[in-house]
Amino acid sequence: MKALLCKEFGMPDTLVLEDLPALKAEAGKIVISIKACSVNFPDTLIIRNLYQFKPALPFSPGGEVSGIVKEVGEGVKHLKVGDKVFAMTGWGGMAEEVLVDARRVFPMLPKMDFVTAASVMYNYGTSYHALKDRAELKAGETLLVLGAAGGVGLAAVELGKLMGATVIAAASSDEKLAICREKGADYTINYTNDDLREKIKSITEGKGVDVIYDAVGDKYTEPALRSIAWKGRYLVVGFAAGEIPKIALNLALLKGCAIVGVFWGQFAEKEPAQNFKNIQELAGYFMKGSLRPHIHKLYSLAEAAISLNDLMNRKVVGKAVVVMSDDVQMPSYEVAQTSKQEIKPVAQVSKVGEMLIFKDLVTLKNHIGKELGTSDWQTITQDKINVFAAATLDDQWIHVDEEKAKFSPFGKTIAHGFLSLSFSPKFMYEMFKVESAKMGLNYGTNKVRFISPVPVDSRVRMKATLKDVEDMQPNGAKLIIDAVFELEGSEKPACVAELLSVVYE
């Protein structure tokens, strides 16, 4: 097998392409036939002996790969030969094969191509952890991303939009910023030409930004931190521009802000369950098509050193990927789109996952007449029917006597009419929230009509529309919501109702 080898520490030009014997699996490890290996910033450090991990010479750089399982070692249960996989290898990926600890190897998502699979974990894993767990970014907040056209930066732009933030992308050229706009940036700053502080001030009308994602450090950090909003969160992600800045701590005091460290690798080690949850959420976004990496260019293994040089020379936008054969091609979703920069107001209503987030009651009022959403399905089990019967003291045989109900027109027990309706608070919490709300209460129904019987083990869900919002003094509002409780597989709903909620700010 061919491998690009680092035989002595140095710049990418010192790497050599050589033929090596095929790899053999070991206990707990897997040999992957590599299809694609993405290029990450640590690859440029590890070959110069500047990275925190120091593999013995000779080794191949390349920490994130996708491919096909070629051999599994003893004790590996979750994968088999032939499976399509992606893996975080640390190094060894710029080669035709890699031997990797099975715990770092994951099955590829259905329909995902090799180039995408090799390009998502590091960038999106880091940026999602940063924005979600460390900054607790909220819909409607402003997010500034420095180095926004880089690997982690562009992922932060996309995720920031998905989380409902107004995103300001800062990068060194207009070409790079055009791609940030394609990925959803609302505003852009060319920090080669523009004064970072002045631009932030004018975009935020003097308020400053709520969250700053800094993967570049150096001379960019201080003006950015000086532009943070009161109670802002400054994310320390990396120092791609070279210098680790030394910041006077009085800035944090004056801004009432938090300077927050981000170390995704350690987070994954120390909090595996939370990291796994994040990865699952990201997988959901990829399956839905809400996230798509920007692939800068594909390089052959013989050109892998050029890809590292390009990254070091700030030529790469998004992700550079080394592919091991010609049949691995550029993913088709990477069709360039042109979009003009628009000056948009700070997002008032946004969607995170499937949930609608309203900034305040005024925003909610603007939504009158529009859909609030559709809940997840809820299965009506016999247990739920029994609990409901016990609570309401309504234990008519049609609800609880499974034997007798077999001879009824429905052939099985049916749920109490009010049972589906009783899920409305749960369903509503899944659909939307008002950020400014200090208190809310789902307290009743104006009218309800039961239409179809709900047999045991069927599934219901709620579709809701905001019919009206009435002011309530002081600082409150009554929400009138039209709800349809759909019954899976039936044209007619289980019931329709007009629901009432109150919200106080």
Q: What's the closest the beta carbon of residue 199 comes to ligand NAP, in angstroms?
A: 15
Stretch that binds ligand NAP, among 67-75, 133-141, 151-159, 436-444 (CB under 6 A): 151-159
- 241 binding ligand NAP? (CB under 6 A): yes
CA trace torsion 37, 38, 44, 49 (10° rounding)? -40
Q: What's the closest the beta carbon of residue 375 comes to ligand NAP, in angstroms?
A: 36
Spatial CA neighbour of 428 closest among 480, 383, 380, 363: 480
CB distance 30 to 100 below 8 Å: yes
Q: What's the closest the beta carbon of residue 50 comes to ligand NAP, in angstroms?
A: 10
- 225 binding ligand NAP? (CB under 6 A): no
Mutual angle of helices 174-182 and 151-162, in 10-degree steps? 40
End-to-end CA distance of the chain: 65
What is the separation of C-alpha 432 from the centre of its chain, rounded to a whole number of angstroms?
Answer: 19
Using CA atoms, how far residue 432 sits from 162, 234, 298, 351, 441, in Å, is 15, 28, 42, 9, 13
* 70 or 176: CB nearest ligand NAP: 176
The 3-class SS string of 384-428 reads: HHHHHHHHHCCCCHHHHCHHHHCCCCCCCCECCHHHHHHCHHHHH
Residues 6+ apart with CB under 8 A from 163: 131, 132, 137, 138, 139, 350, 352
* 46 or 462: CB nearest ligand NAP: 46
Q: What's the closest the beta carbon of residue 146 comes to ligand NAP, in angstroms?
A: 8
- 274 binding ligand NAP? (CB under 6 A): no
Rounded CA separation 346/186 (Å): 9
Q: What's the closest the beta carbon of residue 111 comes to ligand NAP, in angstroms?
A: 26
* 9 or 397: CB nearest ligand NAP: 9
Number of residues that bind ligand NAP (CB under 6 A): 28
Fill in the per-residue mask, 276 to 315: x = in contact with ligand NAP (CB under 6 A), - = not in contact: -----------------------------------x--x-
Which secondary structure element, helix H or strand E, spans residue 308, and what is its range? helix 304-312
Rounded CA separation 209/200 (Å): 8
CB distance 124 to 282 below 8 Å: yes
Q: What's the closest the beta carbon of residue 228 comes to ligand NAP, in angstroms?
A: 19
Q: Report the residue from 26, 68, 263, 354 that binds ligand NAP according to the rule CB under 6 A.
A: 263
CB distance 211 to 232 below 8 Å: yes
- 239 binding ligand NAP? (CB under 6 A): yes
> Which residue in the block uniquely carries the two structure tokens 């040999």?
31
Q: In this chain, which residue has its C-beta nearest to ligand NAP?
A: 150
Stretch that binds ligand NAP, among 179-187, 237-245, 283-291, 463-471 (CB under 6 A): 237-245
* 9 or 377: CB nearest ligand NAP: 9
Q: Report the residue from 153, 164, 208, 440 that binds ligand NAP according to the rule CB under 6 A.
A: 153
Stretch that binds ligand NAP, among 58-66, 258-266, 335-343, 369-377 (CB under 6 A): 258-266
Pick out residues in 33-52 that bind ligand NAP (CB under 6 A). 40-42
* 154 or 487: CB nearest ligand NAP: 154
- 363 binding ligand NAP? (CB under 6 A): no
- 172 binding ligand NAP? (CB under 6 A): yes
Q: What's the closest the beta carbon of residue 212 comes to ligand NAP, in angstroms?
A: 14
Q: What's the closest the beta carbon of residue 184 comes to ligand NAP, in angstroms?
A: 17
In the three-class reduction of DSSP (H, G, I as helix; E, B as strand; rest coil), residue 100 is classed as strand
DSSP string of 110-153?
A: TT--HHHHTSSHHHHHHHHIIIIIIS---TT-EEEEETTTSHHH
- 242 binding ligand NAP? (CB under 6 A): yes
Q: What's the closest the beta carbon of residue 45 comes to ligand NAP, in angstroms?
A: 7
**Residue 37, both tokens:** 């290996």
- 134 binding ligand NAP? (CB under 6 A): no
* 77 or 246: CB nearest ligand NAP: 246
Rounded CA separation 422/387 (Å): 12
- 171 binding ligand NAP? (CB under 6 A): yes
DSSP string of 158-180?
A: HHHHHTT-EEEEEES-HHHHHHH
Q: Report the residue from 62, 93, 140, 150 that binds ligand NAP according to the rule CB under 6 A.
A: 150
Partners of 69 in beta bridges: 32
- 264 binding ligand NAP? (CB under 6 A): yes
**Residue 315, both tokens:** 């030529």
Stretch that binds ligand NAP, among 65-73, 256-264, 340-348, 460-468 (CB under 6 A): 256-264
Q: What's the closest the beta carbon of residue 89 comes to ligand NAP, in angstroms?
A: 15
In the three-class reduction of DSSP (H, G, I as helix; E, B as strand; rest coil), residue 499 is classed as strand
- 102 binding ligand NAP? (CB under 6 A): no
* 59 or 122: CB nearest ligand NAP: 122
CB distance 212 to 232 below 8 Å: yes
* 7 or 277: CB nearest ligand NAP: 277
Interacting residue ranges for ligand NAP, rule: CB under 6 A = 40-42, 126, 147, 149-153, 171-172, 176, 215-216, 237-242, 262-265, 311, 314, 316
